[in-house]
Amino acid sequence: MGAALHTTAAVVFCVCAALLGYAYVGYPRLVRLLARVRPRPTRREPIEPTVSFLIAAYNEEDAIVGKLEETLALDYPPEKLEIVVASDHSTDRTHELVRAYSDRGVKLFVAPDHLGKTGTANEAVPTTTGEILIFSDATGRFDRGAVRALVQNFADPEVGAVTGRVLYDYDDGAASAGFAAYQRFVVPQRQAESIFGTETSVSGSIHAIRRDLFVAAPPELSFDMVHPLHVAMAGRRSIYESEATSREESRTTAEDEFRSRVRIAVRAHSFVPYLLKRLPKCLDRSYVFQVISHKLLRWWSAPLLVLALLSSAILALQGGLWTLPFLAQLAAWVIAASAFLATRAGLSARALGAPLMFATLQLAYLVGLARYLGGSRLAGWRPER
């Protein structure tokens, strides 16, 4: 092997390992430290602004009645809670079921065509009146006090958006176990980010934003990323409120998780040009630091992992200590593949849930990147049940 190739491979491997180590180990520890030494307190008061509660729906005849009953029972003054079902041109009985609640104040907005979740919300928001906009999905089960928990943060003028916490019901499979492990990793980090600076993403199924900060997003993007960006551009913060909860079912198979993550990945990569164009205009500099450290490096970690594996394979041909990182990576992928094969064979493999989830995420982001570069954009919306 030529000395130049060996040197290049060593540099590539070290750079990839450093970036991956920072993204998955260094940054989570750093942001928790910053939350302890440089906290930014949030003023919370029991305020009651007018709220527009938007429920995104597409062919939700099986879930919409339960969602409306739950929403009408929320602990918030009815005269200050405007409930709007934003239907993405549903073709089942969703509209009929929603209209049956008109005498209880529920409003129905129907998109003129199939615009996707973001496109439908873009059209629905101007028809609402609340000072605060809350976004929800038809299948998310809000805690009764979730609205109060969200809006109390808007007593602080620095707060522009608030994301709630999604709780999941898990089964006994490896995919659910892996997702549970993923949640145990990301939730403390998001809490620390909120304390130190700002959230770089919000939950599409439970978050709130001030009306004057709402910006219509391109239909191929999601409000999950667009809202925190525009809040940061306005010099405000996006806050994580763990007391505002919505409960959903976790995905139960690696295949379902993979398909969902591929869609998320395509939207994430679609968001990058939109982000980079606006990043210099962000008045909240903590957002810039956090979105690069938390989002961009993780979205691009799949190519970094591929480069790390290939470069370490080249170095391993030399023998010696360079063999160890190559074998370690190879073993990790073998473990993840074994977990997937075990689940396909009907075995639980819960103990291998974490490596299965990590591998699923990386492969999905790699496929999502390839699809994005191939021209794929996801403006349409087909919720999976």
Mean pLDDT, range 324-331, rounded to an integer: 93
**Residue 12 falls within a domain, yes or no?**
no
- Domain with residue 222: its CATH number is 3.90.550.10
- The model's confidence at residue 5, banded by pLDDT at 50, 70 and 90, is confident
- What is residue 382's predicted lDDT score, i.e. its pLDDT? 59
- How far apart (Å, rounded) are the C-alpha atoms in residues 134 and 146? 10
Tell me the pLDDT tens digit for each residue of 59-84: 999 999 999 999 999 999 999 999 99
- What is residue 385's predicted lDDT score, i.e. its pLDDT? 47
- How far apart (Å, rounded) are the C-alpha atoms in residues 371 and 364? 10
Residues whose CB is less than 8 angstroms from the CB of residue 96 and which lie 6 or more positions away in sequence, other chains included? none
- How far apart (Å, rounded) are the C-alpha atoms in residues 174 and 335? 13
- What is residue 258's predicted lDDT score, i.e. its pLDDT? 87
Sheet holding 141-142, edge to edge: 107-110, 81-87, 51-57, 132-137, 206-210, 159-169, 237-249, 141-142
**Residue 45 falls within a domain, yes or no?**
no
**Residue 349 falls within a domain, yes or no?**
no
**Residue 370 falls within a domain, yes or no?**
no
This prediction's pTM: 0.91
Tell me the pLDDT tens digit for each residue of 88-143: 999 999 999 999 999 999 999 999 998 999 999 999 999 999 999 999 999 999 99
Tell me the pLDDT tens digit for each residue of 23-71: 999 999 999 999 999 999 999 999 999 999 999 999 999 999 999 999 9
Domain with 159, as residue range(s), is: 51-263
**Residue 317 falls within a domain, yes or no?**
no
**Residue 294 falls within a domain, yes or no?**
no
- What is residue 379's predicted lDDT score, i.e. its pLDDT? 61
Residue 281 main-chain phi, psi, to 5 deg = -90, 0
- What is residue 256's predicted lDDT score, i.e. its pLDDT? 84
**Residue 117 falls within a domain, yes or no?**
yes
**Residue 328 falls within a domain, yes or no?**
no
Q: What percent of the chain has pLDDT over 70?
A: 98
The domain total for the chain is 1
- How far apart (Å, rounded) are the C-alpha atoms in residues 204 and 222? 8
- How far apart (Å, rounded) are the C-alpha atoms in residues 83 and 108? 9
How many C-beta atoms lie closer than 10 Å to residue 201's C-beta?
24
